[in-house]
Homo-oligomer: A and B are copies of this chain.
Amino acid sequence: MSVLIVGSTALDSIKTPTAENPRLLGGSASHAAVAASFFGPVKLVGVVGKDFPRRYIRLYKRHRIDLEGLQMLPGKTFHWSGEYELNMNNRRTLVTELGVFETFNPTLPEACRNAPFVLLANIAPALQHQVLNQMRRPRFVAADTMDLWLKVAMPDLLKLLKCLDAFVLNDSEAQQLTGEDNVFPALKKIHKLGPRYVVIKKGSHGSILSGPRGLFLCPAYPLRKVVDPTGAGDSFVGGMMGYLAAAKGPIDGHIRRAMTYGSVVASFCCEGFGLQRTTKISRAQIDGRVKELERLTRF
C-alpha cells in the first residue's frame, strides 16, 4: 500500500567542524520519502521554487517517488543553514529562508487523497492538518514535529494530536510538551492528548514505543562515526511508515519491526551529508543491519 508524505522540501547548507556542504537536498519530506521508498510506493506532497535543482527531481524519481503532489512555484526553495558542534549533538541554525514555503497551501491531487498511510512529516501543524483534512479514509496517520511548533503553534498541534494514530517526537520535545523529565509518565500524558501510538526518539540511545500492546524499547544501530545527523529523525519515521505500509495485517503485528527498520535507515542517513549516503544504499543493506540489530540485542 502507498504512503503519502507531506513535509518540507528544502535546500540544506550544513556545516560541521570538518566540512561545509551547500544546498544539499533536505527537508523532512525529502528524508522521509527517500527512507520510505525502500519498502513500497511513496507520494510526496510539498513545494519547491523555480531554483530547485533538476538533479533533485531526478533523485526523487530514481526512488520512484510520485511527485504529482509536489508544487513548483515562482520564487525560491526553502533554504535552511545550520552548523553542528564537534560532538554532533548540538546544532545551531544559521539561516532560515522560507521562500515559497511562506505561502505554501497544500492542495492534494485527486490521486493522493486515497493513500491508506499518511505521514505528516515535520512542518507547521496547521499545514499538517490541512493535508489530513483532504484525505479520504486513511488507515493509519502518523505525525512528527519539532520544538519550534511547541513554542509557536501549540493550539494547532493539540488540535492535530486528536486526529492522529501515531505521534513521533524526541525526548526533549516530550519533556517540553508534558513537563515530565521521565519519558514514561511523559508517554502516558501524550496518549491522553489523542494518539494511541506514541514514539519518543532518543537519538543514539534508540527510541521507545508506547502503544496498545505496551512498550517497545527500540535499539539504535551502533555507529562508529556520525558524519551528519540532519534528517535522521525524518528518515526514522519515513522508514517506519514505509515498512508499515508495505506490511500486511494489523499494525500491532508490525510496528516494532517497522521502528527497527526506521532506526536502521536513520543510521545510514547519519553516515553521509544530507541524503548522500541514504540514496546509495540497497534494501539488502537495510535488511543486513536489522539482522545485526537482532544479534546485538538478544540475551
Contacts and interface: CB of A to CB of B under 8 A. Distances in A.
A208 B260 CA distance: 18
A215 B224 contact: no
Contacts of A86: 181
Interface in A173-198: 181-182, 184-185
Copies held by the complex: 2
A286 interface: no
Nearest to A225: B182
A247 interface: no
Contact of A185 (B181, B224, B256): B224
A91 interface: no
Nearest to A290: B299
Interface in A70-89: 86-88
Contact of A222 (B205, B206, B215, B296): B215
Given A182-B225, A224-B184, A299 B218 contact: yes
Contacts of A88: 181
Contacts of A87: 181
A270 to B, nearest CB: 11
A299 B216 contact: yes
Given A205-B205, A256-B298, A297-B297, A184 B217 contact: no
Nearest to A216: B296
A187 to B, nearest CB: 9
Contacts of A184: 222-224
A3 to B, nearest CB: 20
B256 A299 contact: yes
A219 interface: yes
A1 interface: no
B218 A182 contact: no
A197 to B, nearest CB: 15
Contacts of A260: 299
Interface string A204-218: 011010000011111
A217 B182 CA distance: 21
B217 A219 contact: yes
Contacts of A215: 222, 296
For the complex of A and B, 6 pairs with smallest distance between CB atoms: A256-B299, A205-B205, A87-B181, A184-B224, A260-B299, A217-B219
21 contacts: A88-B181, A182-B223, A182-B225, A182-B226, A185-B224, A202-B205, A205-B206, A208-B222, A214-B295, A214-B296, A215-B222, A215-B296, A217-B219, A217-B222, A218-B299, A219-B297, A257-B299, A259-B299, A260-B299, A294-B299, A297-B297
